[in-house]
């Protein structure tokens, strides 16, 4: 007992001495005396300057506690003078007794005003690299190490440190509280800067092997991308520093941000992770569940990742919870599409299973649900090269609710595919840009040449308004730019109309830039088309060749079926039955330079078309050989509409006359600026003719046009070097035949030559239809004596330069507007001094012959001969085309010859002819007889009388007096009758110019009387 009492007393004495020593130490110890020593120690181990600007305070109860103010740690060399770390105040507590048992128990550490600046320079060196290695190590080489290898080295160093010495201390921290935290991260190599401020950090108890609670909140501001906001991170963390393993049973992140670079301008997003595990040694990470919320959407799932440092791989499931897609788009700042159904896209969900490895993504399952419609499939892609596989299937898909609503005017019809005219709304493209685009190979071509594709799309029932597609099963496979498409058979329903599309195997070679489809068949309610298609030069100058068979195409039905989706405007026709049955076969070739049609064997309605045609727009080369059957062109032309009474046809350019300035003048005298436009058009036409090459041959069995039947048509048009030649041009019309050769030389000054031949063409219907002359008729024949020539492209040069000669004859005809027999009777009665023909009058004749001689637009006909039963007429005069006038004199006389055609000639009779004058404009000629000239004719007829008298003298002198007396009385009576008629007409004021005519007649009468008196005196 005494020994025990001794030890107790001894222990109490030691405790008393220790307490006394501790009191003395507290009273005498000042930690501020060790500032320099602490700074030197930090400088020795880090090379940094530790500044303890504020006072150091030490307390012993209840725990050993240290407080310091305005503490800062200098920055690394080359990163400026601002400290890397600075703290306005810091305090820490340490329990003393656990130290005796090898345990370090730290109470709550409080930091206020923590300012941390993390930097990386342009060379990639950070301002904390030197703190991660010992002073004796090579800091430069450490900073140059890859980040992944540096982490491995640090982990190995920590493990070696833990096992190198004796049993390590057991460390625990009651907690960490930090307020007013400011963190700046600036990366000059990447040009980025992040600022985190007004931060709060709370860490719960830290004990080895036990999880800790973490909660932090910061405000942040970013320059690129421009945004600012606040985030909060909270959760429980478990970690094993020695094994580099971390885990969190639940970790949440809440973010609120604003900025121009944020979708919608503002975001409120939260992320929750369940059972998050991170193993840096094995480079693995996983989460049993996650939930991402924001923008009115919820995305959940799970994932696991491998090789997260060396080469990340991941797999997992992502699910989009049912949401309103329109609301999501609106929250993202995207205008949602306007749909026909207001509730469309309001119930959208998706499930995706994925497996990602470096350069490869595989999605073995996709399920998309949109308003009850299910779309399923799978996708895989090789990311380092264009290898893709896609499979999609959907039993039924109705796109109608998702299409834009129709305007009221569009109800019941499809929306049109509006296309702008070329150049509208687009920037102009220069020739250099176009050449550059042609020479540069499109990027998609380069991609397609390395493409490997496995595509399968199955849509059993696809709808879009009144269009329904059934049985779409598309399979395409490609390998390194060679693609094969499996046969396809699709049915398309449009309202009550059924279409079928059948495609055989298709192939495309993106290296040779060619493709083909072995068979194509499209059947519609408006007929069908089938054949095969081949294409080459797909990117540069695409050429398409096709062997096609037309199967009773009804163009009218097809145009109606196209509707407004692809508007087709057919020409207006007088017969609605045409354009309804096109059948046959042809070979089609197309390229941007032109089009080629070969082996044509077509039946267009009732007309057969055989032959070929080749058009090259770039080279302006035209080559065609066509044979037509019977074609009723009137059926294809618009129905004629008669003008209402009193209406005036619109004035055309041909109605305008050039004035002295060369500018067109309208009938109203107004000058229009069409001269320059017409000149430019002529110049462009001539340039095209000089470049053009053409060889067009056309044969037609019969052509019905404007009520006329043209048959046995043979035409040939050749163009080369500016010379245009039409040969042959032969056809039968109106029971006759027309043959013509025409040539125009446009290589220099435009010159024409024409050789027409007409045999037995009946004129009645031609004149009535095209000249509006009702009573004209006859059978026309024309022969060329000298070829017709003229210059220029317009009517005016033709009028000025027309030359040549033609012989013509008209048999068994009728000339309108003039009744020669009636005029002879009227003249004989001499009731008028000047006689004019009426529109409803006509002269029937047996034959009219003559020769037209043209010289520089002045056409003479001096051998006109008209033969009619009881009538002969000759004529002479001219037509002056430049001033559009005619001056012609026809001398007609009644004869005692009942024959017309084939009778005696016009110069085989003599007597007193009636002088008929035709004068005025060609548009409105005037037919009239002048009594003055008729009186002069009678006077000249006295010469015939003298001849008869002399003959009577020679035959029998006793009768001379009787002859002279009778002749004198006859002539005198005729003259008196003329005078009486003229006087009567003058008194009645019925005839224009009668006074002048009366004076002339008086002179004629006096001359005749003098002549008669002389004859009487002679005998």
| Euclidean distance between CA atoms 49 and 41, whole angstroms | 10
Residue 534 pLDDT? 93
| Euclidean distance between CA atoms 718 and 505, whole angstroms | 44
Query: How many other C-beta atoms can be found within 10 angstroms of the C-beta atom of residue 769?
Result: 12
CB 172 within 8 A of CB 104: yes
| Euclidean distance between CA atoms 769 and 634, whole angstroms | 14
Residues 6+ apart with CB under 8 A from 575: 634, 635, 636
The first and second tokens of residue 824, run together, are 């002879």
Q: Quick one: 429 exposed, middle or buried, by C-beta within 10 A (0-12, 13-18, 19+)?
A: exposed
Residues present in the chain in total: 1019
Q: Which of 694, 702, 860, 849 is nearest to 782 (CA)?
A: 849
Q: What is the DSSP string of 199-253?
A: EEEEE--EETTS-EEEEEEEEEEETTTTEEEEEEEEEEEEEETTTTEEEEEEEEE
| Euclidean distance between CA atoms 228 and 225, whole angstroms | 9
Q: Which of 841, 865, 864, 869 is nearest to 853 (CA)?
A: 864
| Euclidean distance between CA atoms 821 and 395, whole angstroms | 93
CB 453 within 8 A of CB 478: yes
Strands 497-503 and 834-836: unpaired
| Euclidean distance between CA atoms 761 and 767, whole angstroms | 11
| Euclidean distance between CA atoms 257 and 222, whole angstroms | 10
| Euclidean distance between CA atoms 631 and 602, whole angstroms | 13
pTM of the model: 0.62
- The one-character DSSP state at 464 is E
As a whole number of Å, the end-to-end CA separation of the chain is 219
Query: How many other C-beta atoms can be found within 10 angstroms of the C-beta atom of residue 58?
Result: 13
Q: What is the 3-state secondary structure (H, E, C) of 136-172?
A: CCCHHHHHHCCHHHHHHHHHHHHHHHHHHCCCCCEEE
The first and second tokens of residue 48, run together, are 């940094």
Exposed e or buried b per residue across 967-1002, where buried means at least 16 C-beta atoms within 10 angstroms of its C-beta: bbeebeebbeebbebbeebeeeeebeebeebbebbb
Q: What is the 3-state secondary structure (H, E, C) of 686-739?
A: HHHHHHCEEEEEEEEEEEEECCEEEEEEEEEEEEECCEEEEEEEEEEECCEEEE
| Euclidean distance between CA atoms 500 and 466, whole angstroms | 16
| Euclidean distance between CA atoms 526 and 544, whole angstroms | 24
Residues 6+ apart with CB under 8 A from 771: none
Q: What are the backbone dihedrals phi and psi of residue 800, each rounded to the nearest 5 degrees, phi first?
A: -80, -25
Residue 233 pLDDT? 92
Residue 1016 pLDDT? 43
Instruction: Please tell me whether residue 949 adopts helix, strand or coil conformation.
Output: helix
Residues 6+ apart with CB under 8 A from 618: 592, 593, 594
Residues 6+ apart with CB under 8 A from 628: 607, 608, 609, 698, 699, 700, 701, 703
Residue ranges for the chain with pLDDT beneath 70: 1-31, 34, 60-62, 99-100, 102, 132-169, 408-440, 564-565, 641-677, 773, 775-776, 813-845, 870, 894-912, 930-1019
The first and second tokens of residue 445, run together, are 């071509």
Chain mean position to CA 584: 31
Residue 164 pLDDT? 44
Q: Which of 54, 57, 38 is nearest to 46 (CA)?
A: 38
Chain mean position to CA 1010: 93
Instruction: Please tell me whether residue 262 adopts helix, strand or coil conformation.
Output: coil
The first and second tokens of residue 665, run together, are 């003048």
């Amino acid at each position: 007992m005494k020994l025990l009492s001794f030890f107790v007393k001894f222990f109490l004495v030691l405790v008393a001495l220790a307490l006394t020593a501790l009191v003395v130490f507290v009273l005498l110890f000042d930690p501020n005396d060790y500032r320099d020593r602490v700074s030197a120690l930090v400088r020795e181990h880090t090379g940094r300057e530790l500044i303890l600007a504020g006072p150091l305070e030490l307390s012993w109860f209840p725990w050993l506690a240290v407080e310091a103010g305005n503490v800062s740690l200098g920055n690394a060399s080359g990163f400026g003078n601002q400290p890397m770390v600075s703290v306005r105040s810091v305090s820490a507590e340490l329990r003393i007794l656990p130290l005796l048992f090898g345990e370090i128990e730290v109470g709550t550490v409080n930091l206020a005003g923590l300012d941390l600046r993390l930097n990386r320079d342009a060379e990639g060196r950070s301002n904390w690299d030197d703190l991660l290695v010992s002073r004796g190590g090579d800091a430069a080489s450490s900073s140059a190490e890859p980040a992944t290898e540096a982490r491995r080295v640090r982990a190995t160093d920590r493990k070696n440190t833990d096992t190198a010495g004796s049993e390590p201390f057991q460390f625990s921290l009651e907690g960490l509280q930090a307020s007013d935290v400011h963190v700046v991260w600036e990366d000059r190599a990447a040009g980025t800067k992040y600022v985190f401020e007004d931060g709060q950090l709370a860490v719960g108890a830290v004990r080895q092997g036990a999880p800790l609670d973490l909660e932090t909140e910061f405000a942040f501001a970013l320059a690129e991308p421009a945004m600012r906001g606040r985030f909060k991170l909270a959760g429980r963390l478990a970690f094993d520093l020695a094994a580099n393993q971390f885990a969190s049973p639940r970790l949440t992140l809440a973010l609120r941000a604003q900025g121009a670079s944020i979708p919608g301008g503002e975001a409120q997003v939260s992320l929750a992770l369940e059972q998050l595990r991170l193993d840096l040694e094995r480079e693995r990470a996983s989460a049993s569940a996650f939930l991402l919320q924001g923008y009115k959407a919820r995305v959940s799932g799970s994932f696991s990742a491998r090789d997260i440092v060396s080469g990340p791989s991941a797999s997992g499931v992502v699910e989009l919870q049912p949401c309103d897609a329109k609301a999501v788009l609106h929250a993202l700042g995207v205008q949602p599409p306007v749909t026909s159904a207001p509730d469309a896209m309001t119930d959208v969900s998706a499930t995706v299973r994925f497996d990602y490895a470096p350069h490869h993504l595989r999605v073995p399952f996709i399920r998309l649900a949109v308003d009850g419609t299910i779309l399923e499939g799978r996708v895989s892609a090789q990311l380092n090269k264009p290898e893709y596989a896609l499979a999609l299937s959907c039993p039924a898909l109705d796109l109608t609710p998702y299409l834009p609503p129709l305007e009221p005017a569009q109800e019941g019809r499809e929306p049109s595919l509006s296309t702008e005219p070329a150049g509208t709304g687009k920037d102009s493209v220069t020739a250099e840009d176009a050449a550059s685009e042609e020479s540069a190979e499109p990027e998609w071509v380069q991609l397609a040449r390395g493409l490997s594709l496995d595509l399968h799309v199955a849509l059993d029932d696809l709808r879009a308004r009144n269009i329904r597609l059934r049985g779409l099963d598309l399979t395409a496979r490609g390998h390194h730019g060679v693609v094969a498409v499996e046969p396809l058979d699709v049915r398309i329903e449009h309202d009550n109309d059924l279409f079928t599309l059948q495609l055989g195997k298709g192939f495309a070679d993106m290296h040779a830039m060619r493709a083909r489809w072995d068979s194509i068949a499209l059947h519609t309610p408006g007929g069908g088309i089938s054949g095969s298609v081949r294409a080459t030069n797909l990117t540069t100058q695409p050429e398409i060749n096709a062997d096609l068979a037309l199967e009773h195409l009804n163009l009218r039905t097809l145009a109606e079926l196209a509707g407004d989706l692809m508007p087709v405007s057919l020409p207006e026709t007088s017969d609605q039955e045409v354009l309804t049955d096109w059948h046959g076969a042809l070979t089609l070739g197309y390229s941007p330079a032109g089009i080629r049609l070969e082996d044509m064997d077509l039946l267009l309605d009732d007309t057969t078309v055989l032959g070929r045609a080749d058009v090259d727009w770039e080279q302006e080369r035209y080559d065609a050989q066509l044979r037509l059957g019977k074609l009723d062109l009137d059926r294809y032309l618009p129905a004629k509409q008669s003008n209402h009474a009193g209406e005036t046809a619109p004035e055309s350019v041909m109605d305008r006359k050039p004035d002295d300035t060369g500018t067109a003048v309208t009938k109203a005298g107004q000058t229009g600026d069409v001269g320059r436009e017409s000149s430019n058009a002529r110049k462009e036409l001539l340039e095209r003719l000089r470049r053009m090459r053409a060889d067009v041959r056309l044969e037609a069995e019969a052509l019905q046009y404007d009520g006329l039947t043209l048959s046995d048509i043979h035409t040939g048009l050749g163009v080369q070097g500016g010379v245009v030649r039409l040969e042959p041009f032969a056809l039968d019309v109106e029971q006759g035949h027309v043959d013509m050769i025409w040539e125009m030389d446009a290589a220099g000054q435009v010159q024409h030559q024409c050789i027409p031949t007409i045999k037995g063409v009946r004129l009645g219907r031609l004149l009535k239809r095209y000249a509006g002359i009702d009573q004209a008729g006859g059978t026309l024949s024309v022969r060329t004596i000298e070829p017709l020539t003229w210059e220029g492209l317009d009517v005016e040069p033709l009028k000025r330069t027309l030359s040549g000669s033609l012989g013509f004859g008209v048999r068994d005809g009728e000339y309108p507007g003039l009744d020669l027999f009636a005029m002879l009777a009227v003249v004989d009665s001499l009731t008028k001094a000047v006689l004019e023909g009426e529109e409803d009058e006509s002269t029937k004749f047996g034959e009219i012959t003559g020769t037209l001689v043209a010289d520089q637009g002045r056409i003479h006909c001096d051998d006109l001969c008209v033969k009619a039963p009881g009538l002969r007429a000759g004529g002479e005069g001219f037509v002056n085309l430049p001033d559009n006038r005619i001056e012609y004199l026809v001398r007609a006389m009644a004869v005692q010859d009942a024959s017309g055609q084939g009778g005696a000639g016009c110069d085989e009779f003599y007597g007193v002819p009636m002088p008929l004058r035709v004068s005025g404009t060609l548009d409105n000629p005037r037919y009239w007889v002048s009594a003055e000239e008729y009186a002069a004719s009678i006077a000249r007829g006295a010469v015939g009388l003298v001849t008869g008298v002399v003959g009577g003298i020679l035959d029998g002198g006793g009768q001379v007096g009787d002859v002279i007396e009778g002749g004198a009385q006859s002539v005198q009576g005729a003259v008196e009758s003329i005078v009486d008629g003229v006087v009567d007409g003058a008194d009645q004021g019925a005839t224009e110019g009668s006074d002048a005519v009366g004076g002339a007649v008086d002179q004629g009468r006096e001359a005749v009387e003098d002549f008669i008196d002389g004859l009487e005196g002679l005998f």
